[in-house]
Amino acid sequence: MKEAFKNKQETLFKIGQEISGFVLVKEELVEEADGFARTFEHKKTGARLLYLSTEDDNKVFSIAFKTPSIDSTGVAHILEHSVLCGSRKYPVKEPFVELAKGSMNTFLNAMTYPDKTMYPVASTNATDFMNLMDVYLDAVFYPNIYQNPYTFYQEGWHYHLEEEGDAINYNGVVYNEMKGAFSNPEEILQNKIFESLYPDSPYRFESGGDPDVIPDLTYEAFIDFHQKYYHPSNSYIYLYGDGDVCEHLEYLNTSYLADFDKKEIDSSIASQKPFSKRAELTASYGIASDESTQKKAYMALNYVLGETMSFEKGLGFLILAHILLNNNASPLKEALLELDIAEDISYHYSNSLKQPYFSIVLKNTDEDKKALFLDTVETVLKKLVADGLDPLAVEAGVNIHEFSHIEGEYGTYPKGLVYIIDMMETWLYGQEATDYLKYKPVFETIKGQMKKGYFEKMIVDMLLDNPHQSFVTIVPKKNYQEELDQSIADKLAAFKDGLSPDQLNNLLAETQTLIKKQNEEDAPEDLAKIPKLALSEIRKDAKTYPLAVAEAFDTKLLYHEGFTGDIAYLKLYFDYSHLDQDELKVLSFMCKLLGSLSTGNKDYRLLNQEIEINTGGLSFGIESYDDFMDHGQYQSFVYVKGKAVKDKIPQMVDLIQEILTGTLFTERNLIRDLIREIKTQKENQFLTAGHVIGVQRLQSYYSKTARLFEELGGIEFYRFIADLDLNFSEKFDKLSESLKAVAQKVFMGKRPIISITGSEAEKTQVLASLESYLLSLKAQAFGKNSYNLKQQVLNEGFMTAAKIQYVSQGYNFKNLGYDYSGSMLVLKSIISMDYLWNKVRVQGGAYGAFMNIGRTGEVYFGSYRDPKLAKTLDAYRGIVAYLKDLTLSQRELEKYIIGTISNKDVPISVFVKGEVADNFYFSHISHDQQQKERDQILGTDLADLKAFISMLEEILDQNIICVLGSEEAIRQDADLFMEVRSVK
């Protein structure tokens, strides 16, 4: 912290002082956040406000409301969507979307939790920040939901009937979102855990909305919820960054808060009375008709850990859970895996509730294994208390969490945003918000007590002697979803049959009115009310990413200089192009094993402990880079990443070398467990990230690198893993030999390219530590294999147990002879934020829809948690006509340009800058090309956009599609596909 900033802040205010209607209640220097935290109370309304003043220009604002659920209709979730659909000052259909189009925001979203709803925004531009704040405050306090019930119908649910002869169905964005969520057995399990642990508390309800219950929500109850909870007296307001405190307080008071009076609001969260004995609950979930029901159950042992915990206690238990269950070497997870009764074991701990909870979960098991599961947990925990936890395991758990706090690496998320999400875990329940920031003394306390039974006492008090438990089982059931769907269809058919002619006509008219409103364009004068920056305020120069290319040990060195707080980031890129094609899947699997198996010198338990004691983590994987300058060419590497504080760089490098050169691929049981874990995780992705899986598969039809990814991580890799699981006994010996051979070829052959991010001193230390290992390798290149990555258009429809679809279509424009232009990114913004948002999300009811376009020629369209299939593909085909008819005022065009540039200007850490610089280096994208792209974005006009019509027309004419979705929907539209199949 600069001395001038500190001196100014220290003399700014006095406790008890009134500033623009706010009274300063508390002020403190928070060393860990490098800033001053001030707690205010608004005198007239009682609104709470926390201002964290720092020198960070990535300013954050958030307003949150305590919103405990009263049922499972998802009213809080629907309201979160709906208040952002027009307000008093901004009477357009989608102010949120208009902001996303034309703001330099670094974060823009809203989130519903089990007991609170948050509306955070962030920007580095002071004017933009005020604009964002104003739109959000007007939205939450003065939404148009009172004048426009069709917002509730669109975002929540409605009876949808377009033609008299049609069947009535339910539609609505949140309804379809939650249908997608409840397609995932883990989501159902989570719902049942809450129901079992908190039967008399608001937490027993599904705050996101249970799709079977959402249609019980009335418009009147929806309005009542807003009237009750969305008031300053029930709010938690937060500001972070280098903004002017007085200016912001004055604005908040005069523009909004002064218009309200203090109101007594009962938003209390009733505590669940502790149980005297374990509760039990069993439920079902649906699986595809061709799936076996064997080993498909999920079981969870769950604990409520008492009332609101202090930051120290909460952090302590988080570390304890990590020690017990984080990896396959953790004592409780290892013991459960040895039972061989489940394919994966996971845990979940949440301190963001008034009464925190902890769950131990068995995935893909059989329900008759319950007693064995429970007995093993109790036996292991008692033994750990009696014998004491392994001191190295404790040290490792404490160190890895302390490293994470010190590093403060949040990727593209603003630091101030992460702070408030964490601080709400204490602030909402009446504790000091800033406790969550002050981690240094807490870690000192924990480290001082960890050898004196600190964690063992937690095991006794919070687990073994805690009767507030539940045991939840969910079991697979074939045709379960079909039965539910039929039940809903019968219910809706009976509802329709019961309508009088007038009621039926009213429903038809209501549906048509909704469609009409969804298709209406906002008045230009209303759109003009949405504030925006001027193009003149946008920086003209492209960002630079530090990169110095040099040689070290006869290999390439990529160095990214920057201040990282004495942390060194190392990445090694190993060429694997000399491997045979049939070794590629083995290579990918090997990367997932590294660091989890023993080496010649270290047992896998000790290895895991030493990684966490000496580093901030090691990771292994494969990355591919398409060549921007030479279409169709690419580079692909196995990477090894590590990070450590400067004093532990030698230990980090020693551990990397130990793993790369000494891993034993003979540990049969460990490898079997990891196979099952990977398989389970991939199967979960099919239900929760079908848009990602579908697009990757789609691209493999026409892209070499995407086809390569199929071998390394896509559906083909999943099938390889599933086959290993099914035939493990017969295949293990050969697999073990192949893993060893591949590791030797990759890690004991040619020297890798080195990438280092940090200071000059850290670079020197890393290179000195690497020397002996690198000099043991060869400097010359190997022969390169030409892989047969045959592209073939398959147009597959993959059937899953999901209740919704993920619909993708696309192609590569460079294959058609078109060149890349930065203006394409403006086109992407327009089609995503205007056309697809309206056609697929607003009118179609999908939770999300998007277009993506890339420098290497990729163009694809996708939908997320989409109730439609054929209609979505029709919507994609309508893009050409939309673009032909497109007219934009200069103001609207500038909004899209600014919104496009904002994605380029999100602040990122020195570490992430190093990652980006490497990406550009391997893809052969120069700074001049980045500047050209920025110039093209800023210079985009309507003619540039229209020039892409023929390109999009040709792409859509290829008719290349891939869909993951429900069996019913895929079979109903089977004629769209060349092949209909199970994803498994």
The residues assigned a catalytic role are: 80, 155
Pairing of strands 796-800, 979-982: parallel
Q: Residue 897: which H helix or E strand, with range? A: helix 890-904
Name 635's bridge partners: 625
Using alpha carbons, select from 304, 240, 228, 257 the residue that is nearest to residue 66. Answer: 228
Cβ 52 vs Cβ 240: under 8 Å: yes
3-state secondary structure 904-956: HCCCCCHHHHHHHHHHHHHHCCCHHHHHHHHHHHHCCCHHHHHCCHHHHHHHH
Q: Residue 365: which H helix or E strand, with range? A: strand 357-365
Q: What is each CA distance from 546 to 285, 487, 788, 917, in whole angstroms?
A: 51, 60, 36, 7
How far apart, in whole angstroms, are the C-alpha atoms of residue 79 and residue 85?
A: 10
Q: What is each CA distance from 909 to 379, 412, 629, in whole angstroms?
A: 45, 8, 28
How far apart, in whole angstroms, are the C-alpha atoms of residue 968 and residue 641?
A: 44
How far apart, in whole angstroms, are the C-alpha atoms of residue 634 and residue 468?
A: 56
Amino acid identity, position 212? D
Query: Whose structure tokens read 């700074």?
Result: 927
How far apart, in whole angstroms, are the C-alpha atoms of residue 200 and residue 545?
A: 54
Residue 661, judged by CB atoms within 10 A of its CB (0-12, 13-18, 19+), counts as middle
Q: Residue 250: which H helix or E strand, with range? A: helix 245-255
Nearby residues of 917 by Cβ (< 8 Å), 6 or more positions away: 545, 546, 547, 558, 560
Name 568's bridge partners: 644
N-term to C-term CA, the chain: 54
- 3-class DSSP state of 262: coil
How far apart, in whole angstroms, are the C-alpha atoms of residue 120 and residue 372?
A: 45
Torsion angle (degrees, nearest 10) of CA 722, 725, 727, 728:
150
Q: Residue 40: which H helix or E strand, with range? A: strand 35-42
Cα-trace Rg, the chain: 28
Cβ 649 vs Cβ 769: under 8 Å: yes
Q: Which two tokens stand for residue 463?
A: 């687990």
Amino acid identity, position 881? A
How far apart, in whole angstroms, are the C-alpha atoms of residue 529 and residue 550?
A: 53
Q: Residue 806: which H helix or E strand, with range? A: strand 806-812
818 DSSP assignment: P
- The pairs formed by 346-351 with CB atoms below 8 angstroms and a separation of 24 or more are 347/321, 348/190, 349/317, 349/318, 349/321, 351/309, 351/314, 351/317, 351/318, 351/425
Q: What is each CA distance from 803 to 417, 864, 969, in whole angstroms?
A: 33, 12, 9
